[in-house]
Chains A and B, each alone.
Chain A
Amino acid sequence: MIDQPQGEKPALTVVIQSWWTPAVAVIFLVIGLLGGYFGRPLVAKGTKTSEPVAVVTTPTTDPTEAAASLKQIMDSVISQTTNFKGDPNATVTIIEFSDYQ
């Protein structure tokens, strides 16, 4: 039983005896290393770019929401403002928050 594992070790070497097996192994090893070496920055960049994308998408989804909430804010401010000058149907409403002092 002890001999068998010892005998299997050379059996492994036997596989390597075929010349293209180590060659293919080395080629794939090199490809793997190169892929890892050059691929990692890409993956890292990928995660980095995905962050800005997330940040960018928040504003891009926000403008519509933001515009809606701005309008909401504006409407609530308008409803709380008692004194206006000018056409009530004007496109633009300016409200000044100020103190008389």
Chain B
Amino acid sequence: MDTGKVRFGYFNFAILGDESHWAAEAAECAGDQDAYWEFHDYLFSHQNGENQGAFSKDNLKGFAAEMGLDTKVFNECLDSGKYTQFVQDQANFAQQLGVQSTPTFIINGRGIIGAQPFDTFKQVIDSFLNQ
């Protein structure tokens, strides 16, 4: 990625309930303040069970505050449901595409299902780089 050969995208596939949706929406809200990836990483490092309050809206707002985001803008974004439809649309799109579980990766159209070892990714990536 650092050498400009690979780029990485994250696609919200919120399927595990309300907190999945809120977390995805919150990340998009953080993205409005150019802090998408920071928030993204923060979420993954603060996972704590499913739908047990770890990603309640209050907690998500707390994360934004800890990261020094503009909380007023962030909270309004989250509360108003600015990205609710967007996140839902993404999940629907992924489902239509046939994505059934997380994580699923698509590398230039080639699917890798599950958290596969690095070598699996390397092989696929190299196969495209060497074309």
Contact = CB atoms under 8 A, between A and B. Distances in A.
Interaction A to B:
yes
Interface of A: 67, 70-71, 73-74, 77-78, 80-101
A74 B124 CA distance: 15
A90 B7 contact: yes
A79 to B, nearest CB: 10
A81 to B, nearest CB: 4
Interface in B98-118: 99, 102-110
A90 B129 CA distance: 10
Contacts of B28: 82
What DSSP secondary structure best describes chain A's contact surface?
mixed
19 contacts: A67-B109, A71-B109, A77-B97, A80-B11, A85-B8, A85-B37, A87-B1, A87-B5, A90-B6, A92-B6, A92-B108, A93-B9, A94-B7, A95-B11, A95-B105, A95-B107, A98-B104, A100-B19, A100-B55
Contacts, number: 141
B62 interface: no
Contact of B6 (A73, A94, A99): A94
Given A85-B37, A91-B128, A100 B9 contact: no
Contact of B8 (A77, A94, A101): A94
A85 to B, nearest CB: 5
Interface in B26-72: 27-28, 31, 36-37, 40, 43-44, 47, 50-51, 54-55
A84 B9 CA distance: 4
Contact of A99 (B9, B14, B125): B14
B40 to A, nearest CB: 7
Given A74-B108, A77-B106, A96 B24 contact: no
A82 B105 CA distance: 16
Nearest to B28: A82
Contact of B20 (A81, A92, A101): A101
Interface in B66-110: 89-90, 93-94, 97, 99, 102-110
